[in-house]
């Protein structure tokens, strides 16, 4: 490029002309004058070359320093050069990407029309700017703000395209809606536990032959002491610097904060150098941090594992990392431990419980569905039944679902546990139908995880058809938090489809979440279950009484049924009846019971004559 530029200079041309004419000139004086002109031309050319070289060096330095990704492609749309920020953001090195079409980064989220419009604008105006979703080398998708310019030669022909882009994942996450679902740790701006779970899942899915994941869970030793002695502000600053430093180390990988002083790192790799990688991480983080007056050197406890060797399920891998970290902690400070199966149950009661739950699920013998009847308030008739899961632990006895369901949700077991419930509820309904006992729907509780991870819709259809039970007999209870969880996709559309299949749908624990009236109105819901927290203090607590009346009035307005949960006393029942509540569920009518007990009541006197 410099030569074209240099030859454009008049002095250089004059020098060349002088050189050509030198031998033709008649006198020595004229030849000398020509020589001077040649020298000036040559000096000017030399100066230009140096200037151009300096300019190129500076440009390269600026591109190297730029936090924005830069990609230069030629007129055939083949990549010719990228800067280090490009590699950091996308995971592709200069060597890997050179010669490829930029469409290797495409996430598949944009349709043909989008790219047609992109090229039309770029060809017509020479530039394009906008938001694009691309995909990193290892599979996670990310939003970027992209500016592209077409660069033309002096004849106006496009020779290159220069693209400049910023990874706007964090900006996006700051946008209000993403903020609400909370994919980002607010202190460090790194992905939080939930997002890490998703990122791990997508990396696992995209592993190619010969690739593996190195995963590490890092805990800062004695962080509490930092907080206590230096103050929470400095503690926060340390966490944030720590996150930044980790992030810088793991180019193309994933770094996130699980909470407290726990960070997680994932990298996709073809190397089998897990231990060296962990030591590399440790070395990088052992440099002191400048937080207070004195440099602060941190001790780290690290639990690690590798996928697929140590598992292919994100929930299982999370749990194994925690086992490894827990084992490392028991060794004392500044220790790293890679997962081994023998660590899994060594002494952590939670993990032990989880392992036992996994066993219980595999064998199915310790799990059982109890049924609690629901009744019409006016005459006590049976209105429905809720299936409630029970776990009989061989040594701890009955464990409450309030304890083991959250555990299963956190550790990747909920989808299978939910499938177990669906299948057993359908089997029970089928038996009751054959015995001529079933004429009210059975309601099952659906966890958010089933909507997000499991394939709820197909599991429901498969179980219903296997047991020959109509969908109208299987009601679905979803809590407000499930309805608001955007990881489940467009929940409203999914609910419409489930209801079209015939499932009745109820909002469980109503009043404990934040669903607005406007939102509720759009949802295809049949029933609200008023949370027992409001029923408990009825009728004396005036605030609860006011909420109950308001919910009942609102439900009437929307044409929804209401079941009041947790009715234990006659006073509560009378108040609810006076306020126009149609249905109740609670110990006053029936406790959750085993199948044999429910059957006895179904066969005998069904009506509970408490009215």
Which spans of this chain sit near ligand C2E (rule: CB under 6 A)?
Answer: 372, 388-389, 400-402, 405, 421, 444-447, 477, 508-509, 532, 565-568, 585-587, 592
- Among 268, 445, 447, 463, which residue sits at the site for Mg ion (rule: CB under 5 A)? 445
What is the pairing mode between strands 127-135 and 141-152?
A: antiparallel
Q: Please provide the distance, in angstroms rounded to a whole number, between the alpha carbons at the two ends of the chain.
A: 94
DSSP tag of 106: B
Question: Got the DSSP string for 514-533?
Answer: ---HHHHHHS---EEEE-HH
- Beta-bridged to residue 148, according to DSSP, are 128, 163
Residue environment code for 121-138, b if the CB has 16+ CB neighbours within 10 A, otherwise e? ebeeeeebeeebebbbbb
Stretch that binds Mg ion, among 10-18, 25-33, 359-367, 443-451 (CB under 5 A): 443-451
* Cα–Cα dist 424/595, whole Å: 12
DSSP tag of 265: E
Q: How far is the CB of 388 from ligand C2E (least distance, A)?
A: 4
Question: Is residue 428 a contact residue for Mg ion (CB under 5 A)?
Answer: no
The residues, any chain, with a CB within 8 Å of residue 559's CB and separated by 6 or more, are none
Judged by CB under 5 A, the number of residues near Mg ion is 5
Q: How far is the CB of 526 from ligand C2E (least distance, A)?
A: 16
Q: How far is the CB of 418 from ligand C2E (least distance, A)?
A: 6
Hey, what are 595's tokens?
A: 């199948």
CB nearer to ligand C2E: pick between 321 and 369: 369
- 421 is in the binding site of which of Mg ion, ligand C2E, none (Cβ under 5 to 8 A by kind)? ligand C2E
Stretch that binds Mg ion, among 292-300, 360-368, 442-450, 591-599 (CB under 5 A): 442-450
CB nearer to ligand C2E: pick between 73 and 572: 572
* Cα–Cα dist 572/541, whole Å: 11
Residue nearest to ligand C2E (CB): 586
- Give the other-Cβ count within 10 Å of 6's Cβ: 18
- 447 is in the binding site of which of Mg ion, ligand C2E, none (Cβ under 5 to 8 A by kind)? ligand C2E
* Cα–Cα dist 309/320, whole Å: 12
Residues of this chain, 470-529, that bind Mg ion according to CB under 5 A: 477, 508-509
DSSP tag of 343: G
Q: How far is the CB of 87 from ligand C2E (least distance, A)?
A: 44
CB nearer to ligand C2E: pick between 226 and 388: 388
Q: How far is the CB of 609 from ligand C2E (least distance, A)?
A: 18
Q: How far is the CB of 95 from Mg ion (least distance, A)?
A: 57
Q: For 371-435, where are the alpha helices, taking DSSP H only? A: 401-410, 414-434
CB nearer to ligand C2E: pick between 343 and 567: 567
CB nearer to Mg ion: pick between 255 and 369: 369
Residue bearing tokens 């890997």:
96
Q: How far is the CB of 510 from Mg ion (least distance, A)?
A: 8
Q: Cis (ω within 30 of 0) for the bond into 339?
A: no
Q: How far is the CB of 386 from Mg ion (least distance, A)?
A: 6
- Give the other-Cβ count within 10 Å of 69's Cβ: 23
CB nearer to Mg ion: pick between 85 and 535: 535
Residues in touch with Mg ion (CB under 5 A): 445, 477, 508-509, 565
């Amino acid at each position: 490029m410099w030569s074209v530029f240099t030859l454009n200079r008049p002095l250089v041309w004059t020098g060349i002309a002088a050189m050509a004419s030198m031998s033709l000139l008649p006198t020595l004086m004229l030849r000398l004058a020509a020589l001077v002109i040649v020298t000036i031309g040559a000096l000017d050319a030399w100066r230009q070359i140096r200037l151009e070289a300096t300019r190129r060096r500076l440009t390269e330095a600026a591109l190297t320093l730029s936090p924005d990704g830069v990609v230069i492609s030629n007129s055939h749309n083949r990549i010719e050069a990228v800067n280090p920020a490009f590699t950091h953001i996308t995971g592709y090195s200069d060597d890997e990407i050179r010669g490829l079409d930029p469409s290797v980064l495409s996430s598949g989220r944009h349709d043909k029309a989008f790219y047609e419009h992109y090229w039309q604008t770029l060809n017509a105006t020479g530039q394009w700017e906008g938001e694009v979703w691309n995909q990193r080398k290892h599979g996670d998708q990310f939003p970027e703000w992209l500016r592209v310019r077409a660069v033309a030669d002096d004849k106006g022909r496009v020779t290159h395209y220069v693209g400049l882009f910023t990874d706007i994942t964090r900006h996006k996450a700051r946008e209000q809606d993403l903020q609400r679902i909370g994919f980002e740790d607010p202190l460090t701006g790194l992905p939080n536990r939930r997002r890490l779970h998703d990122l791990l899942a997508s990396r696992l899915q995209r592993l190619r032959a010969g690739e593996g994941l190195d995963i590490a869970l890092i805990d800062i030793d004695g962080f509490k002491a930092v907080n206590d002695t230096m103050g929470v502000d400095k503690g926060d600053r340390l966490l944030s610097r720590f996150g930044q430093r980790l992030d810088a180390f793991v180019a193309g990988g994933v770094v996130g904060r699980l909470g407290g002083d726990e960070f997680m790192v994932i990298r996709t790799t073809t190397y089998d150098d897990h231990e060296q990688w962990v030591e590399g991480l440790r070395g990088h983080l052992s440099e002191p941090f400048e937080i207070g007056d004195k440099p602060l050197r941190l001790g780290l406890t690290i639990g690690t594992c590798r996928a697929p060797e140590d598992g292919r399920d994100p929930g299982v891998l999370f749990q194994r990392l925690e086992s490894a970290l827990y084992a490392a902690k028991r060794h004392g400070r500044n220790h790293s431990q890679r997962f081994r199966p023998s660590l899994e149950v060594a002494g952590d009661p939670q993990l032990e419980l989880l392992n036992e739950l996994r066993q219980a699920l595999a064998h199915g013998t310790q799990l059982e569905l109890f049924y609690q009847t629901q009744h019409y308030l006016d005459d006590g008739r049976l209105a429905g039944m809720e299936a409630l899961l029970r776990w009989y632990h061989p040594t701890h006895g009955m464990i409450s679902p309030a304890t083991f369901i959250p555990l299963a949700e956190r550790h990747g077991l909920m989808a299978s546990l939910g499938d177990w419930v669906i299948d057993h509820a359908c089997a029970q309904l089928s038996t009751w139908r054959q015995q001529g006992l079933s004429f009210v729907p059975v309601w099952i509780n659906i966890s958010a995880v089933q909507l997000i991870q499991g394939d709820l819709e197909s599991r429901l259809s498969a179980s219903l058809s296997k047991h020959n039970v109509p969908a109208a007999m299987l009601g679905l209870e979803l809590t407000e938090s499930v309805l608001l969880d955007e990881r489940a996709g467009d929940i409203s559309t999914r609910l419409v489809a489930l209801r079209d299949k015939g499932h009745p749908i109820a909002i469980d624990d109503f009043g404990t979440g934040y669903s607005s009236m406007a939102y509720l109105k759009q949802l295809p819901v049949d029933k609200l279950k008023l949370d027992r927290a409001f029923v408990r203090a009825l009728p004396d607590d005036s605030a609860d009484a006011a909420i109950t009346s308001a919910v009942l009035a609102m439900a009437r307005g929307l044409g929804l049924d209401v079941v009041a949960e947790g009715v234990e006393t006659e006073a509560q029942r009378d108040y609810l009846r006076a306020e126009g509540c149609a249905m109740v569920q609670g110990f006053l009518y029936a406790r959750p019971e085993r199948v044999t007990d429910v059957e006895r009541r179904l066969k005998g006197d069904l009506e509970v004559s408490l009215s």
